[in-house]
A and B are shown apart, each in its own frame.
Chain A
Amino acid sequence: MTDAAILKNVSFRYANGDAGALDALDLTVKQGECVLLCGSSGCGKTTVTRLLNGLIPHYYEGTLEGDVSVFGRSIRETAIEDLAGIVGSVFQNPRSQFFCVDTTAEIAFGCENMGLPEAEIRRRIDNTVTDMNIQKLLGRSIFNLSGGEKQKIACAGVAAMLPELIVLDEPTSNLDLDAIDELRVIIRKWKAQGKTIVIAEHRLGWLSGLCDRVLFMENGGISAEFTGEAFFSLPAEKLNSMGLRAIRTANNYLESKTGTTELKPFDSRDIITLNGFIFGYGKQEALHIPELDLPKGAVIAVVGHNGAGKSTFTKCLCGLQKRFKGTVNINGKTYRAKDLMRLSYMVMQDVNHQLFAETVLEEVLLGADESEQKTALDILGKLHIAEYKDRHPMSLSGGQKQRAAIASAMLAGKKLLVFDEPTSGLDFRSMECTAELLRSLDKDITVLIVTHDMELIDRCCTHILHIENGGIES
């Protein structure tokens, strides 16, 4: 068996980074092997994937020492575009890995760049599409696809180029459980075709039985190596102590009955009543919840399959859905649809969209009076970001940005906080921090979390609300 990739004594430091991303790393990937790279954020696993596809050193700048070769080609001397037919890459963010706007052109894109004859490209598209069973995705507009469908098209685009080595960098962080299952099938097929596969990933469960070898990375080096079998039988406590997500979660809340269920004993004092949460796009009814009671002050996970109506529900609840007519009743006070925007606040998946000011303090005070400065500082202190009050919000880490957004919502007196997938792409420690934060919020504030993350639910939610087909069955 030949070696697909050899990294010898490789150190790398990003041009604008303080610490080294990789430190004297040695790694040999055999042809036909499926290797998983895991470890907490910043351990260097993404850097390894970037070395394999040539983005380092050709796109991301920095100082590289040591030798990297892929199928006998030195990575330094091979231009990144010449690696295209040999190494295929699937990335994390479905929003930013598509070049064309229609699916067929997208699958053809890589082959077109390689200058293959048209007949050959058509043949490859046919093969790939049949192989992956995605006939019905051909000829669609990228903007009308779900996250899972987009990721499938990305895989197809890579597969059509017939690369020997396929590198995946956190491919599931925007996917729900069903979509992950489908990705698993695709990877199994690649494995059967004898492709070499390297995956950097936080979510581990779906890879059980797929990976031959698991490398645990810490501080830019490989600190432990497991066979696939040994790794996937490690107990959850052991994984968590390594800073890794659990492989299996005890509960799959998607199997629970629809409606609200209490997970932990909760002393509910007041009830928030939602009335007439009914909404449709055109003739299609997307949401049908005539009446629903939520315990005030609870932390409620909103679960359901893709397309179940979760996001329509939260949009309505935040007053963001035009033409929505429902009401929310708290303590005898009724909020109509247009008042809901003052009552509730959504923390978006990409927090970058909702930070506007020049410093964290200014951000929190935005829209409030100067006199509230003291309260603002109190809130920042409670959320452990007081020391960053003079920093630019965009210069904070992901978790800190999330806190800044929450702080601004709290000062604005919002009583309902809605989180959209707050832990997608987070490692174990960051997820624990988020869970801790959500648990510690004021009892006055009711939190709804739209999430697929069962570990997060286990850690911080008091209730779950399961929505399917736009509604709940009583």
Chain B
Amino acid sequence: MAGLFTADIENRGLVLDPRTKLFVMITLVVFALGGTGSDIAAVRYGTTAVSILPLILLMTAKQYKKAAVFGFLYASIKSAEVFLVPHITGAALSIIGLCCLIFVRLMPGLIMGAYMLSSTTVSEFIAAMHRMHIPQQITIPLSVMFRFFPTVLEEFTAINTAMKMRDIRIGGRNAGKFIEYRLVPLMVCSVNIGSELSAAALTRGLGTKVRRTNICKIGFHMQDLTVLLLTAALYILWILGMIGVIT
């Protein structure tokens, strides 16, 4: 479960610089989610191509299962949009059409997010933020969140197990209180862990005035260059389209 949010550094495949990932993410938000330049055919095809990029990245990070699941979901929604939506009418059109529209736009960003979280270590993240001159006041809380998610997930799994043993499940006798029963212990455990975690971090000097060093090596390599060029091509297509060179 914890693998959903943390990098398995023992077996991580191809490593990208966190800044490259961030650039891909921004591009996906601008073009896939924002629909920028969708009136230009070349940009439309380019957007679809870049939308598939997160799936390829997941595979380079050896997360084949995740890539397969996301790939299947994205492919079914995309094909529904292309093949199904033009043939339906009425209420079905508005419901299915709307769902397809939202998810086709949202999915690439979500997949990229999953890839970012599961392939970046805390130290890489801090190093990248540092290189981009983001102040510590922003970096530290964000990095705590990085660390906190997997822990909450671990707790959640333990609580789930406990609930199974007590026969509390959806459709069971206490279905109405299902969420409450889950949240109360989760909050108590999270608060405890959060407070212990901060205490431990403080005793090890997190938050001193001195400039923090970072031994984590990040930097741009061949793989970064490839991904960056691919993504940047989309912007170029868009500009070319805007000034009327292509349509």
Residues of A at under 8 Å CB distance from B?
53-55, 58-60, 79-85, 87-89, 91, 93, 95-102, 105, 108-118, 121-122, 139-141, 143-144, 157-158, 161, 318, 320, 341-342, 345-346, 348, 350, 352-357, 366-367, 394, 408, 412
Complex contacts, B6 vs chain A, CB 8 Å: 101, 141, 143
Known A54-B203, A91-B196, A99-B197; contact A353-B189, beta-carbon cutoff 8 A: yes
B interface: dominant SS: helix
Q: A114 to chain B: which residues have CB within 8 Å?
A: 205, 208, 210
Q: Give CA–CA (A408, B174) in the complex, Å.
A: 15
Judge whether B40 is part of the interface by a CB distance below 8 angstroms. no
A93-B196, A143-B6, A353-B158 are known contacts; what are 16 more A-B pairs with Cβ within 8 Å?
A55-B203, A81-B206, A84-B208, A89-B204, A96-B193, A98-B147, A102-B9, A108-B123, A113-B207, A114-B210, A115-B213, A121-B215, A346-B165, A352-B185, A353-B161, A354-B159
The complex places the Cα of A269 from the Cα of B9 at a distance, in Å, of 53
Q: Collect the chain A residues with CB atoms within 8 Å of residue B146's CB.
A: 101
B142 at the interface (CB under 8 A from A): no
Across the interface, A355 reaches (CB within 8 A) one of B180, B185, B212, namely B185
Q: Which of A99, A318, A366, A394 contacts B188 (CB 8 A)?
A: A394
User: Looking at the complex, which one of A60, A108, A140, A345 makes contact with B165 (CB distance below 8 Å)?
Assistant: A345
A354–B205 CB distance below 8 A: no
Using CB atoms and an 8 Å cutoff, list the residues of chain B in contact with chain A.
2, 6-10, 121-123, 146-147, 150-151, 154-155, 158-159, 161-168, 172-174, 180-182, 184-185, 188-189, 192-193, 196-208, 210-216
Taking the closest CB of chain B, its distance from the CB of A425, in whole angstroms, is 14
Cβ–Cβ < 8 Å partners of B192 in chain A: 96, 352
A115 touches B181 (CB 8 A): no
Known: A100-B147, A105-B122, A110-B205. A356 touches B10 (CB 8 A): no
Instruction: Verify A354–B185 contact, CB threshold 8 A.
Output: yes
Closest 5 CB pairs of A and B: A84-B205, A113-B205, A354-B162, A115-B210, A96-B196
Best-buried of A93, A144, A348, A356 by chain B (most CB within 10 Å): A356
Measured between alpha carbons, how far is A115 from B212 in the docked complex, in Å? 4
User: Which of B151, B161, B182, B208 interacts with A82 by CB under 8 Å?
Assistant: B208
Contact B203 A89 (CB under 8 A): yes
Q: Are B189 and A350 in contact (CB under 8 A)?
A: yes
Q: How far is the CB of A168 from chain B (nearest CB, A)?
A: 12
Q: State A353–B189 Cα separation when bound (angstroms).
A: 7
Closest approach, in angstroms, between the C-beta of B146 and any C-beta of chain A? 8
Known: A95-B193, A353-B185. Is A81-B147 also a contact (CB below 8 A)?
A: no
Which residues on A sit within 8 Å (CB–CB) of B210?
Answer: 113-115
Q: Report the separation of the CA atoms of residues A59 and B172 in the bound assembly, to the nearest whole angstrom.
A: 43
A81 touches B207 (CB 8 A): yes
- CB of B123 within 8 A of CB of A105, answer yes
| Measured CA separation A355–B151 after assembly (Å) | 19
Contact of A139 among B10, B173, B180, B211 (CB under 8 A): B10
B212 touches A353 (CB 8 A): no
Query: Shortest distance in angstroms between A370's beta carbon and chain B's nearest beta carbon?
Result: 12
Closest-CB distance, A21 to chain B (whole angstroms):
16
Question: Which residues of B are found within 8 Å of A81, using beta-carbon distances?
Answer: 202, 205-208
- Separation of A367 and B166 alpha carbons in the complex (Å): 7
Nearest-neighbour CB distance to chain B for A61, whole angstroms, equals 12
Known A318-B165, A320-B161, A356-B163; judge A117-B213 contact (CB<8 A): yes
Instruction: Specify which chain A residues have a CB less than 8 angstroms from the CB of B216 in the assembled complex.
Output: 105
- Min CB gap B180→A, angstroms: 8
Q: How far is the CA of A412 from the CA of B173 in the complex (A)?
A: 14
Report yes or no: A113 in contact with B206, Cβ–Cβ below 8 A.
yes
Chain A residue with minimal CB distance to B205?
Answer: A84
Question: In the complex, are the beta carbons of A352 and B189 less than 8 A apart?
Answer: yes
The verdict on A101 contacting B122 (CB below 8 Å), with A81-B205, A114-B205, A367-B173 known, is yes
Contact at B205–A366, with CB atoms within 8 Å? Answer: no
A243 to chain B, nearest CB (A): 26
Give which listed residue, A101, A112, A342, A357, contacts B212 with CB less than 8 A.
A112
